[in-house]
Amino acid sequence: MKEDIIKIAIAGVGNCASGLIQGIDYLQTYEEKRKKLLHPKISSYEVKNIEIVAAFDVDKEKVGKDVSEAIFAPINSTPKFIDVEQKNVTVVKGPLKDGLTGHLQEVIKVAENPEADVTKILQESGAEILICALPTGAEEAVKAYAQAALDTEVAFINCTPTLIASNPEWARKFKKSNICLIGDDLQSLAGGTVLHKGFLDVLKEQGVKIKDTYQLDVAGGLETLNTLDDERKQYKREVKERTIRESFGNDINLASGTSDYLEFLGNRRIGHFWILGEGFMDMPIKIDIRLETLDGPNAAGTLVDVIRATKLAINRAGSGPISSICAYGFKAPPVTTERHTAHQWFNEYLEGIRSD
């Protein structure tokens, strides 16, 4: 009996794509590791059922190469965990638009190849889901891929902070076309935002009043270099801060985001969490924590759940933003809720209790 395959296309063959593609092969090679996943199976789907069928980028070091080779291009900093088998999927040049500005122009040389017809590639590849993993701030490029997904009736997962699923106009378009829309701004498995919200959740549940808090990080990945651009850095910070304020109110002093790029850190991200609150009789409570992670696999750990849940949504004839998947896996979902509620919604959706 043929396995159920989830055919995906990915726009942006960066560290997130590297973590995802390596992760699929890793779990095929080391079957015992599957048991450690939060969701070893979603419906009938395991991570091994995910198959990449198309890939888009603009970097001349990636375009024209098999995606299994392109993920290890020098500009990517995700470590090599495993030898990835050839996928017989050549990276083609996607629409540049505003994808490279500021610091990215200094380190990436654009391929001279003509831009591919994204809709044609999606149709010919049989892709069911298009994952957008472009750099922060590439709004026009993200919208171009979103439109291509609409035109080809392919589900769209937006890993970037550009508002697509949370934009009422785009949400209506996907809803009207009966196409699943998931986003925005992918939340890493054990990333700064989810842990920051987790710490604050626990304190709030215990009756602690939060006064001041920050979650700031330094990293060496390309996404961090990209956010050195003041406008993009501020945009990313606003998205992260908004998701926390929506859960904890506007009466706390808050800062959240990337503070600097350090090339020698490679794919490592070092986060610092600081919280000042007041407990019983205004007793001062301070928390100061350091976290170190790898960006590529950290993002992919969430993405493998989101992909399989999106396939489930397709099977159920879902349309427009699927609130439970968005709230579970993203920092800026259309409907925000507390962290533990998002997990509850997600599990209820998987079980068929929730319709969206």
Q: Do 248 and 232 lie in a common domain? A: yes
**What pLDDT does residue 222 have?**
83
Q: Do 78 and 131 lie in a common domain? A: yes
**What pLDDT does residue 24 have?**
97
Helix (H) or strand (E) holding 259: strand 253-261
Which residues have C-beta within 8 Å of that of residue 209, sequence separation ≥ 6? 277, 278, 279
Written as six digits, the tokens of 171 are 């949400």
**What pLDDT does residue 3 have?**
61
Percent residues over pLDDT 90 in the chain: 82
C-alpha distances in Å from residue 176, one per residue of 73, 101, 181: 39, 34, 11
List, as one string, the DSSP characters of 309-320.
Answer: HHHHHHHTT--E
Phi, psi angle pair for 353, to nearest 5°: -80, -40
State which residues form the domain around 199: 192-294
Phi, psi angle pair for 311, to nearest 5°: -60, -40
Q: Model confidence at 160, in pLDDT bands (50, 70, 90)?
A: very high
CATH of the domain at 318: 3.40.50.720
* In a domain? residue 158: yes
How many residues in total does the chain contain? Answer: 356
* pLDDT-wise least confident of 32-36, 210-214, 324-328: 32-36
* In a domain? residue 1: no
Last residue of a domain, one of 245, 277, 294: 294
CA–CA gap between residue 32 and residue 253 (Å, rounded): 45
Which residues have C-beta within 8 Å of that of residue 69, sequence separation ≥ 6? none
Q: Within 10 Å of residue 117's Cβ, how many Cβ atoms?
A: 13
Q: Is the pLDDT reported for residue 58 higher than 80?
A: yes
* In a domain? residue 288: yes
Q: Model confidence at 143, in pLDDT bands (50, 70, 90)?
A: very high
Q: 2-41, pLDDT tens digit by residue?
A: 469 999 999 999 999 999 999 999 999 998 998 889 999 9
* In a domain? residue 356: no
Overall domain count for the chain: 2
Helices and strands: H and E segment counts in the chain: 12, 11
Q: Is the pLDDT reported for residue 355 higher than 50?
A: yes
* In a domain? residue 302: yes
| Dihedral, CA of residue 149, residue 90, residue 50 and residue 57, to nearest 10 | -50
Written as six digits, the tokens of 202 are 């626990």
CATH of the domain at 241: 3.30.360.10
**What pLDDT does residue 154 have?**
98
Q: Is the pLDDT reported for residue 1 higher than 70?
A: no
* In a domain? residue 334: yes
